A and B are shown apart, each in its own frame.
Chain A
Amino acid sequence: MPRNIIDVTDLTVEEIDQLIATAEDIIANPVKYQDACAHKQLATLFFEPSTRTRLSFESAMLALGGSVLGFSSANSSSTAKGETVGDTVHTVSCYADIIAMRHPKEGAPFAASQVSEVPIINAGDGGHNHPTQTLTDLLTIHREKGRLDNFTIGFCGDLKFGRTVHSLVNALSRYENINFVLISPLELKLPRYVKEEALKKKGIPYTQTTDLESVIPQLDILYMTRVQKERFFNEEDYLRLKDSYILTPEKLESAKADLSILHPLPRVNEISVAVDKDPRATYWKQVKNGKYIRMALILKLLGIEV
């Protein structure tokens, strides 16, 4: 059975450290890797729209000398004819060497992994998981702070449906001495199962609050998220909650000088554009890091050593 990455915890801490080391080497020596995946094909199966993740995967494979095929919406696949996820993926696994898939239904990549003949990478499944964003976040934190332990991180916004938050909380819970501060409206708190599994069971302390400004001075990292319209069944709830938190230069006045502001993007208006000029804004670097860590992951899953 091929190796799949459905959840970030499918990787051990040691494997994540190796991926980060490979990504760092790719950043330092891109030429060394430019033909590493020659004659290999990556299929990007995006049953839900995406700009960053799909292009990041495709850019990663092209930078490794491989090629890409796939589709960018369910309407342009046989899903529109009623084909199951399993059958679509089984078919594509006959053409490609590795598959990155995004699907609006939670658990779809796990279902795909049961029938695929090639490695499956979960590129986001509904509000559930998004492991390659988490790897991107870990690489970014590592590059900014030089470590993945001993800091205070605040997660702010939609912590209920924010799959990037769930995955990152899970991943960071395996490192030492991290203080979690969970900032959200009451309706969008981190789900019980994430708190139970990632934090409570391991005895990791965390704080929950609705007030960003009161906790901002203690943070080393601030992970902002968008309130996602597509996750709400009821538009009224979305409209009421969408502007719960807007990060502005004024709010950052009391923050630490070496704070790193991350955001998985796309943003709507939860980070004011004026913040982009602040040296603490790290989210554009994060986008770039996403390509490098995906390159490292593709190499690992294809078993290619450079």
Chain B
Amino acid sequence: MNIDSIQNGIVLDHIQAGKSMDIYKYLHLDELDCSVAIIKNVRSGRMGKKDIIKIDSPMEVDFDVLGYIDSNITVNVIRNGKRVEKKHLELPKKLVNVIHCKNPRCITVSESQLDAIFVLSDAEKHTYRCAYCDTAIDKKF
């Protein structure tokens, strides 16, 4: 299977196999006009299987969203056909408007114009807490 290499854009590598569509959705890649390749179940020495996404256009990536979904992903920035930067992600300390509180008593549920703010409370368990009501959400990806 051949996928053209990209000239200027971003390659998201080491995505956990099967999770590429979640990333496609959360990064709103459907709104892009450029070529986007989703490659699923690629053989990987380290991971067994992995997914890769290639975006053939320079774009601002929301690293918080990406880090929340899977902090093992590597982001490769490509310019003129060459990799110029490789970024390793971290679990973000704070998430704004990425996930929403499920507590029916939380003010963000009744006043939906408020920013949904979550703060990392346990990095090991990937637990985030609503900054308003402290309700915990365990990582769902």
Interface residues of A (CB under 8 A from B): 84-86, 103-108, 110-111, 125-128, 192-193, 196-197
User: In the complex, what residues of A have CB within 8 A of residue B108's CB?
Assistant: 107, 111
Q: Is the beta-carbon distance between A128 and B133 smaller than 8 angstroms?
A: yes
User: In the complex, what residues of A have CB within 8 A of residue B103's CB?
Assistant: 106
User: In the complex, what residues of A have CB within 8 A of residue B130's CB?
Assistant: 107
Given contacts A84-B113, A85-B111, contact A105 B106 (CB under 8 A): yes
Q: Is the beta-carbon distance between A107 and B132 smaller than 8 angstroms?
A: yes
CA distance A163 to B110 in the complex (A): 20
CA distance A85 to B110 in the complex (A): 10
**CB neighbors of A among B85-137 (8 A):** 103, 105-108, 110-111, 113-114, 121-122, 129-136
CA distance A66 to B80 in the complex (A): 69
Q: Is the beta-carbon distance between B105 and A126 smaller than 8 angstroms?
A: yes
Q: Is the beta-carbon distance between B129 and A193 smaller than 8 angstroms?
A: yes
Q: Is the beta-carbon distance between B107 and A106 smaller than 8 angstroms?
A: yes
Of the residues A103, A110, A127, contact of B131 by C-beta under 8 Å:
A110
Interface residues of B (CB under 8 A from A): 103, 105-108, 110-111, 113-114, 121-122, 129-136
User: In the complex, what residues of A have CB within 8 A of residue B122's CB?
Assistant: 196
Q: Is the beta-carbon distance between A107 and B106 smaller than 8 angstroms?
A: yes
CA distance A16 to B59 in the complex (A): 49
B97 to chain A, nearest CB (A): 14
B29 to chain A, nearest CB (A): 31
**Closest chain A residue to B104, Cβ basis:** A233
User: In the complex, what residues of B have CB within 8 A of residue A126's CB?
Assistant: 105, 133
Given contact pairs A107-B107, A107-B132, enumerate 16 new A-B contacts (beta carbons under 8 Å): A84-B113, A86-B111, A86-B114, A105-B105, A105-B107, A105-B110, A106-B105, A106-B133, A106-B135, A107-B130, A107-B133, A108-B132, A110-B132, A125-B133, A128-B133, A197-B121
User: In the complex, what residues of A have CB within 8 A of residue B132's CB?
Assistant: 106-108, 110-111
What are 18 of the A-B contact pairs (CB < 8 Å)?
A85-B111, A103-B107, A104-B105, A105-B107, A105-B111, A106-B103, A106-B132, A107-B108, A107-B130, A107-B132, A107-B133, A111-B111, A111-B114, A125-B107, A128-B134, A192-B136, A193-B129, A193-B134
A79 to chain B, nearest CB (A): 11
A219 to chain B, nearest CB (A): 28
Given contacts A84-B111, A193-B135, contact A106 B129 (CB under 8 A): no
**Closest chain B residue to A166, Cβ basis:** B134
CA distance A84 to B113 in the complex (A): 9
Among B105, B114, B122, B129, max chain A CB count under 10 A is at B105
B126 to chain A, nearest CB (A): 14
User: In the complex, what residues of B have CB within 8 A of residue A111's CB?
Assistant: 107-108, 111, 114, 132
User: In the complex, what residues of A have CB within 8 A of residue B129's CB?
Assistant: 193
Q: Is the beta-carbon distance between B107 and A85 smaller than 8 angstroms?
A: yes
A171 to chain B, nearest CB (A): 15
Of the residues A85, A106, A192, contact of B106 by C-beta under 8 Å:
A106
CA distance A263 to B113 in the complex (A): 37
CA distance A196 to B105 in the complex (A): 21
A37 to chain B, nearest CB (A): 29
Of the residues B107, B121, B131, contact of A108 by C-beta under 8 Å:
B107
CA distance A193 to B119 in the complex (A): 14
Q: Is the beta-carbon distance between A127 and B105 smaller than 8 angstroms?
A: yes
**Closest chain B residue to A193, Cβ basis:** B136
B136 to chain A, nearest CB (A): 5
User: In the complex, what residues of B have CB within 8 A of residue A196's CB?
Assistant: 122
CA distance A163 to B134 in the complex (A): 12
CA distance A276 to B134 in the complex (A): 36
User: In the complex, what residues of B have CB within 8 A of residue A192's CB?
Assistant: 136
A195 to chain B, nearest CB (A): 12
B34 to chain A, nearest CB (A): 37
User: In the complex, what residues of A have CB within 8 A of residue B107's CB?
Assistant: 85, 103, 105-108, 110-111, 125
CA distance A55 to B107 in the complex (A): 25
CA distance A211 to B131 in the complex (A): 35
User: In the complex, what residues of B have CB within 8 A of residue A104's CB?
Assistant: 105
Per CB-CB distance, the 10 closest pairs between chain A and chain B, nearest first, are A107-B132, A106-B133, A105-B107, A107-B133, A107-B107, A108-B107, A106-B105, A110-B132, A126-B105, A111-B107
